[in-house]
Structure 1
Amino acid sequence: MATTDTHSEIEEYLGQVPSWMGEISEPATDHSWGIMRDLLLGETELSGREKALVGLGAAAAIQCPYCTYFHQEEAKLAGVNDVELTEAINVSGTTRYFSTVLHGARVDEDQFADEMGEVFEHLENQQAAAAGDD
Protein backbone atom coordinates (compact mmCIF):
# COMPACT_ATOMS: atom_id res chain seq x y z
CA MET A 1 0.00 0.00 0.00
CA ALA A 2 0.99 3.60 -0.45
CA THR A 3 2.95 5.57 2.13
CA THR A 4 0.90 7.45 4.73
CA ASP A 5 1.45 10.77 2.93
CA THR A 6 0.39 9.32 -0.42
CA HIS A 7 -2.62 7.60 1.16
CA SER A 8 -3.73 10.95 2.65
CA GLU A 9 -3.20 12.72 -0.66
CA ILE A 10 -5.23 10.15 -2.59
CA GLU A 11 -8.04 10.47 -0.08
CA GLU A 12 -7.92 14.26 -0.38
CA TYR A 13 -8.07 14.13 -4.21
CA LEU A 14 -10.60 11.32 -4.61
CA GLY A 15 -12.55 11.35 -1.35
CA GLN A 16 -11.32 7.82 -0.64
CA VAL A 17 -8.56 5.41 -1.55
CA PRO A 18 -10.16 3.05 -4.08
CA SER A 19 -9.67 -0.59 -3.11
CA TRP A 20 -8.13 -1.46 -6.49
CA MET A 21 -5.16 0.74 -5.67
CA GLY A 22 -4.16 -1.92 -3.15
CA GLU A 23 -3.46 -4.20 -6.12
CA ILE A 24 -0.47 -2.08 -7.18
CA SER A 25 2.80 -3.64 -6.04
CA GLU A 26 4.52 -1.82 -3.18
CA PRO A 27 7.53 -0.50 -5.07
CA ALA A 28 5.22 1.22 -7.59
CA THR A 29 2.37 2.48 -5.41
CA ASP A 30 3.54 6.03 -4.73
CA HIS A 31 4.89 6.39 -8.27
CA SER A 32 1.65 5.09 -9.82
CA TRP A 33 -0.37 7.60 -7.84
CA GLY A 34 1.99 10.36 -8.97
CA ILE A 35 1.38 9.46 -12.61
CA MET A 36 -2.39 9.46 -12.10
CA ARG A 37 -2.31 12.69 -10.11
CA ASP A 38 0.05 14.61 -12.38
CA LEU A 39 -0.95 13.36 -15.82
CA LEU A 40 -4.62 12.41 -15.56
CA LEU A 41 -5.87 14.73 -12.82
CA GLY A 42 -3.32 17.53 -12.96
CA GLU A 43 -3.15 20.60 -15.13
CA THR A 44 -1.28 19.73 -18.34
CA GLU A 45 -1.18 20.91 -21.94
CA LEU A 46 -4.39 18.97 -22.65
CA SER A 47 -7.63 20.03 -21.03
CA GLY A 48 -9.46 17.62 -18.74
CA ARG A 49 -12.03 17.20 -21.51
CA GLU A 50 -9.38 16.29 -24.07
CA LYS A 51 -7.65 13.86 -21.70
CA ALA A 52 -10.98 12.18 -20.90
CA LEU A 53 -11.74 11.67 -24.59
CA VAL A 54 -8.26 10.32 -25.30
CA GLY A 55 -8.58 8.00 -22.31
CA LEU A 56 -12.02 6.84 -23.43
CA GLY A 57 -10.79 6.11 -26.93
CA ALA A 58 -7.84 4.11 -25.64
CA ALA A 59 -9.98 2.27 -23.08
CA ALA A 60 -12.53 1.31 -25.71
CA ALA A 61 -9.79 0.17 -28.11
CA ILE A 62 -8.16 -2.08 -25.52
CA GLN A 63 -11.62 -3.20 -24.39
CA CYS A 64 -11.07 -2.46 -20.72
CA PRO A 65 -14.43 -2.12 -18.94
CA TYR A 66 -12.81 -0.49 -15.89
CA CYS A 67 -11.00 2.20 -17.87
CA THR A 68 -13.98 2.71 -20.17
CA TYR A 69 -16.24 3.36 -17.18
CA PHE A 70 -13.71 5.69 -15.54
CA HIS A 71 -13.04 7.74 -18.67
CA GLN A 72 -16.72 7.92 -19.66
CA GLU A 73 -17.60 9.33 -16.26
CA GLU A 74 -14.56 11.62 -16.38
CA ALA A 75 -15.70 12.89 -19.79
CA LYS A 76 -19.24 13.53 -18.56
CA LEU A 77 -17.82 15.46 -15.63
CA ALA A 78 -15.86 17.55 -18.14
CA GLY A 79 -19.06 18.38 -20.06
CA VAL A 80 -18.83 15.84 -22.88
CA ASN A 81 -22.33 14.93 -24.07
CA ASP A 82 -23.61 11.50 -25.16
CA VAL A 83 -23.24 12.26 -28.87
CA GLU A 84 -19.60 13.25 -28.36
CA LEU A 85 -18.97 10.13 -26.24
CA THR A 86 -20.36 7.98 -29.03
CA GLU A 87 -18.24 9.75 -31.62
CA ALA A 88 -15.07 9.33 -29.53
CA ILE A 89 -15.75 5.60 -29.24
CA ASN A 90 -16.43 5.39 -32.98
CA VAL A 91 -13.19 7.20 -33.81
CA SER A 92 -11.37 4.75 -31.57
CA GLY A 93 -13.03 1.79 -33.27
CA THR A 94 -12.21 3.17 -36.69
CA THR A 95 -8.56 3.58 -35.72
CA ARG A 96 -8.47 0.01 -34.43
CA TYR A 97 -10.15 -1.25 -37.62
CA PHE A 98 -7.69 0.43 -39.97
CA SER A 99 -4.77 -0.56 -37.77
CA THR A 100 -5.88 -4.18 -38.10
CA VAL A 101 -6.05 -3.82 -41.89
CA LEU A 102 -2.64 -2.14 -42.11
CA HIS A 103 -0.94 -4.65 -39.82
CA GLY A 104 -2.66 -7.66 -41.36
CA ALA A 105 -1.68 -6.57 -44.84
CA ARG A 106 1.83 -5.72 -43.63
CA VAL A 107 1.72 -2.37 -45.40
CA ASP A 108 5.17 -0.84 -45.74
CA GLU A 109 5.48 1.88 -43.07
CA ASP A 110 7.73 4.16 -45.12
CA GLN A 111 5.42 4.03 -48.12
CA PHE A 112 2.44 4.65 -45.82
CA ALA A 113 4.15 7.69 -44.27
CA ASP A 114 5.07 9.08 -47.70
CA GLU A 115 1.54 8.66 -49.05
CA MET A 116 -0.08 10.12 -45.94
CA GLY A 117 2.33 13.06 -46.11
CA GLU A 118 0.99 13.76 -49.60
CA VAL A 119 -2.60 13.35 -48.38
CA PHE A 120 -2.09 15.84 -45.55
CA GLU A 121 -0.38 18.30 -47.87
CA HIS A 122 -3.42 18.08 -50.15
CA LEU A 123 -5.78 18.58 -47.19
CA GLU A 124 -3.79 21.61 -46.00
CA ASN A 125 -4.02 23.11 -49.50
CA GLN A 126 -7.78 22.53 -49.54
CA GLN A 127 -8.14 24.20 -46.12
CA ALA A 128 -6.04 27.17 -47.24
CA ALA A 129 -8.12 27.53 -50.40
CA ALA A 130 -11.36 27.34 -48.40
CA ALA A 131 -10.07 29.96 -45.95
CA GLY A 132 -9.27 32.24 -48.89
CA ASP A 133 -12.88 31.95 -50.09
CA ASP A 134 -14.18 33.60 -46.93
Structure 2
Amino acid sequence: MTTTTLTRAEVEADMRETLGLVPSFFSRIPDELLAPEWELFKRLELDQTLIPNKYKELIGVALHAETKCSYCTLFHTEAAKLFGATDEEIQEAVHYAKSSLGWSAYLNGMREDYDGFAAELTRIGEYLASRG
Protein backbone atom coordinates (compact mmCIF):
# COMPACT_ATOMS: atom_id res chain seq x y z
CA MET A 1 0.00 0.00 0.00
CA THR A 2 1.30 3.42 -0.96
CA THR A 3 1.34 6.00 1.79
CA THR A 4 2.15 9.64 1.35
CA THR A 5 2.35 12.74 3.46
CA LEU A 6 1.77 15.16 0.60
CA THR A 7 -1.24 17.42 0.89
CA ARG A 8 -3.62 18.05 -1.98
CA ALA A 9 -2.12 21.54 -2.32
CA GLU A 10 1.40 20.09 -2.64
CA VAL A 11 0.30 17.56 -5.26
CA GLU A 12 -1.53 20.23 -7.21
CA ALA A 13 1.54 22.48 -7.03
CA ASP A 14 3.57 19.63 -8.58
CA MET A 15 0.93 19.26 -11.30
CA ARG A 16 1.15 22.99 -12.08
CA GLU A 17 4.96 22.76 -12.18
CA THR A 18 4.83 19.72 -14.46
CA LEU A 19 1.87 20.55 -16.74
CA GLY A 20 1.23 24.26 -16.30
CA LEU A 21 -2.18 23.61 -14.71
CA VAL A 22 -4.13 21.11 -12.65
CA PRO A 23 -6.15 19.00 -15.12
CA SER A 24 -9.82 19.03 -14.14
CA PHE A 25 -10.04 15.24 -14.36
CA PHE A 26 -7.85 15.08 -11.25
CA SER A 27 -10.21 17.34 -9.27
CA ARG A 28 -12.68 14.56 -8.36
CA ILE A 29 -10.05 12.15 -7.09
CA PRO A 30 -10.35 11.88 -3.30
CA ASP A 31 -7.57 13.55 -1.30
CA GLU A 32 -6.14 10.28 0.00
CA LEU A 33 -5.81 8.88 -3.54
CA LEU A 34 -4.59 11.97 -5.36
CA ALA A 35 -0.86 11.68 -4.60
CA PRO A 36 -0.55 8.00 -5.61
CA GLU A 37 -2.68 8.55 -8.73
CA TRP A 38 -0.56 11.55 -9.76
CA GLU A 39 2.70 9.70 -9.14
CA LEU A 40 1.52 6.76 -11.25
CA PHE A 41 0.32 9.08 -14.01
CA LYS A 42 3.63 10.97 -14.02
CA ARG A 43 5.67 7.78 -13.99
CA LEU A 44 3.83 5.94 -16.76
CA GLU A 45 2.58 8.79 -18.94
CA LEU A 46 5.30 11.41 -18.67
CA ASP A 47 8.55 9.88 -17.44
CA GLN A 48 10.91 7.84 -19.56
CA THR A 49 10.42 4.12 -18.94
CA LEU A 50 11.72 1.02 -20.69
CA ILE A 51 9.45 1.85 -23.63
CA PRO A 52 10.33 5.22 -25.17
CA ASN A 53 7.56 7.80 -24.69
CA LYS A 54 6.83 8.16 -28.39
CA TYR A 55 6.18 4.43 -28.69
CA LYS A 56 4.12 4.29 -25.48
CA GLU A 57 1.90 7.02 -26.85
CA LEU A 58 1.55 5.32 -30.25
CA ILE A 59 0.48 2.18 -28.37
CA GLY A 60 -2.02 4.36 -26.49
CA VAL A 61 -3.41 5.80 -29.73
CA ALA A 62 -3.87 2.32 -31.20
CA LEU A 63 -5.34 0.91 -27.99
CA HIS A 64 -7.89 3.68 -27.57
CA ALA A 65 -8.85 3.67 -31.21
CA GLU A 66 -10.26 0.25 -30.28
CA THR A 67 -11.72 1.17 -26.87
CA LYS A 68 -13.41 4.12 -28.61
CA CYS A 69 -12.50 6.46 -25.75
CA SER A 70 -12.36 9.89 -27.37
CA TYR A 71 -10.66 11.40 -24.30
CA CYS A 72 -7.83 8.86 -24.30
CA THR A 73 -7.49 8.90 -28.09
CA LEU A 74 -7.09 12.68 -28.02
CA PHE A 75 -4.68 12.56 -25.07
CA HIS A 76 -2.43 9.90 -26.59
CA THR A 77 -2.51 11.47 -30.07
CA GLU A 78 -1.40 14.84 -28.74
CA ALA A 79 1.15 13.24 -26.39
CA ALA A 80 2.55 11.18 -29.29
CA LYS A 81 3.04 14.39 -31.27
CA LEU A 82 4.72 16.06 -28.28
CA PHE A 83 7.13 13.13 -28.10
CA GLY A 84 7.95 13.39 -31.82
CA ALA A 85 5.46 11.13 -33.60
CA THR A 86 4.46 12.20 -37.08
CA ASP A 87 0.93 12.09 -38.46
CA GLU A 88 2.06 9.19 -40.64
CA GLU A 89 3.28 7.22 -37.60
CA ILE A 90 -0.01 7.85 -35.80
CA GLN A 91 -1.92 6.66 -38.85
CA GLU A 92 0.25 3.54 -39.06
CA ALA A 93 -0.33 2.75 -35.38
CA VAL A 94 -4.09 2.94 -35.88
CA HIS A 95 -3.92 0.92 -39.09
CA TYR A 96 -1.82 -1.72 -37.31
CA ALA A 97 -4.43 -1.91 -34.53
CA LYS A 98 -7.18 -2.36 -37.12
CA SER A 99 -5.29 -5.15 -38.84
CA SER A 100 -4.30 -6.92 -35.63
CA LEU A 101 -7.83 -6.73 -34.23
CA GLY A 102 -9.19 -8.13 -37.48
CA TRP A 103 -6.91 -11.15 -37.27
CA SER A 104 -7.90 -11.62 -33.64
CA ALA A 105 -11.58 -11.65 -34.57
CA TYR A 106 -10.93 -14.12 -37.40
CA LEU A 107 -8.74 -16.54 -35.41
CA ASN A 108 -11.07 -16.54 -32.42
CA GLY A 109 -14.23 -16.67 -34.53
CA MET A 110 -12.91 -19.60 -36.55
CA ARG A 111 -11.75 -21.25 -33.31
CA GLU A 112 -8.30 -21.88 -34.74
CA ASP A 113 -6.47 -24.64 -32.87
CA TYR A 114 -4.37 -22.76 -30.31
CA ASP A 115 -1.69 -25.43 -29.84
CA GLY A 116 -1.28 -25.80 -33.58
CA PHE A 117 -1.07 -22.03 -33.94
CA ALA A 118 1.60 -21.87 -31.21
CA ALA A 119 3.59 -24.69 -32.85
CA GLU A 120 3.48 -22.95 -36.23
CA LEU A 121 4.58 -19.70 -34.64
CA THR A 122 7.57 -21.49 -33.08
CA ARG A 123 8.49 -22.95 -36.47
CA ILE A 124 8.18 -19.54 -38.15
CA GLY A 125 10.40 -17.98 -35.45
CA GLU A 126 13.03 -20.69 -35.88
CA TYR A 127 12.96 -20.28 -39.66
CA LEU A 128 13.32 -16.50 -39.50
CA ALA A 129 16.10 -16.74 -36.89
CA SER A 130 18.00 -19.19 -39.12
CA ARG A 131 17.91 -16.66 -41.95
CA GLY A 132 19.69 -14.10 -39.76
TM-score, reference length from structure 2: 0.83
Match of 1:33 in 2: 38
How many pairs align?
126
SS at match of 1:86: helix
Q: Which has the higher helix share?
A: 1
Q: Which of 81, 93, 101 is 1:96 aligned to? A: 101
Give distance in 2, aligned partners of 1:28 and 1:97: 38
* Aligned AA (1:57): A
Amino acid at match of 1:53: L
Q: Percent of pairs identical after alignment?
A: 33
Residue 122 of structure 2 aligns with which residue? 117
TM superposition shift of 1:91: 0.6
Q: Given the superposition, is the C-alpha separation of residues 24 and 122 from structure 1 closer, same or farther in structure 2, using an over 3 Å criterion?
A: farther
In structure 2, relative to structure 1, the CA distance for the partners of 1:106 and 1:23 (3 Å cut) is: farther
Equivalent-residue separation in structure 1 for 2:130 and 2:67 (angstroms): 35
| Unmatched runs of 5 consecutive residues or more in structure 2 | 1-6
Return the letter of the residue paired with 1:121: E
Structure 2 Cα separation of the partners of residues 3 and 10 of structure 1: 10
- Matched residue SS, 2:27: helix
Structure 1 unaligned runs (5+)?
Answer: 129-134
Cα displacement (A) at 1:3: 2.0
Q: Which residue of 2 aligns with 1:48?
A: 53
Aligned to 2:83: 78
Q: How large is the Cα RMSD of the aligned pairs?
A: 1.9
* CA-CA distance at 1:23 after TM superposition: 3.6
CA distance in 2, matches of 1:31, 1:7: 12
Alignment partner, residue 132 of structure 1: none
Question: Please, what TM-score do these two structures have when normalized by structure 1?
Answer: 0.82
